[in-house]
Amino acid sequence: MTARPEHLPERLARISDMQAAEFISSGLLAGREDVPSIALNKVAEPLAGDDERGRLHPVRELIEEALREFQGTRPTAADAWLAPRLHATLRLSRREAADAGLWSYLALGVAPDYVVWRHRPEPKADEAPNGVARKRFLGPHHTQAFARLWWAAELFRDGSDYKPVVRACGNQDMLNTTLRLDVIDHRPTAQALVRLMDRKIVQTGREVNALVAAVNASAATLMYDVIAPDVEYDSEALREWIAAAETSRAVSRHVLPEGPEEEHAPEGAVESLAAHFEGLFADVSVRRRAPDERG
């Protein structure tokens, strides 16, 4: 299996798509080869400055803890644990997180072993094992191995509370489907979806996919940010949280970290949308029943 990089510099870096593509071999995707880390770091561009957020080793240590914690279990179980902790360790702004070169470097220069372990498909009986999809190393934010976790944490956290992130990432269909949709950028919408999971109104992957499809279709005619407005965004809380990285301790392995001290999504807005989404899902469920199942 692909191993921990032989060379780990002090600081994180970024790498362009063209450069990253040169290191994604068929052997790496199959888990048979390692990334030539010395060569990779010769072309990577270290993050500017000397602030705490740019240190590589806290990120690597976090990923090694995830590998230890979930070894012997289904790799998908690691998402809910790692997403909030990765978000709280990196402490990025959305503008910084939009840099695909950072995520490509994390996947190739910091933790290719994790990417192979997490995203290598389970072998089927009497079939040769498939390799990791290339998009897990170099891909859009909703499929790239680490970008998807960071954005899930960013979009599903409720202010400083990461508990909704854990619940959302605990369902692969919720995680994989919603990150593709613009509607999830509305905080009450994200919290309302999680609330329906908490209430066991939707539980299976099929139910989650049906709900999310209905919510997204309804958004074409109903503006959720109008009927369920969020509080005005306060950037100061994020700036203070980022600045606090210089003195903060490493995130706990056993207790959820805390995000920026932003206001929670308004309770009335979340409840209003939860009720609306429950109605949408009930309608979808009725329409999807076979004729002989209807009363």
pLDDT digits 0-9 by tens, 258-291: 999 999 999 999 999 999 999 999 998 756 654 4
pLDDT value for 117: 97
Confidence of residue 123 (pLDDT cuts 50, 70, 90): confident
The DSSP secondary structure of 193-241, one letter per residue, reads: HHHHHHTTSS-SHHHHHHHHHHHHHHTTTS-HHHHSPPPPP-HHHHHHH
pLDDT digits 0-9 by tens, 248-263: 999 999 999 999 999 9
CA distance 103 to 5: 16
pLDDT at 127 over 70: no
What average pLDDT does the segment 85-108 reach? 98
pLDDT digits 0-9 by tens, 172-212: 999 999 999 999 999 999 999 999 999 999 999 999 999 99
CB-count burial class (<10 Å; 0-12, 13-18, 19+) for 292: exposed
Prediction pTM value: 0.94
pLDDT at 221 over 60: yes
Confidence of residue 293 (pLDDT cuts 50, 70, 90): very low
pLDDT digits 0-9 by tens, 138-183: 999 999 999 999 999 999 999 999 999 999 999 999 999 999 999 9
Non-local (6+) Cβ contacts of 203 within 8 A are: 197
Run of H or E including 66: helix 57-70
pLDDT at 125 over 90: no
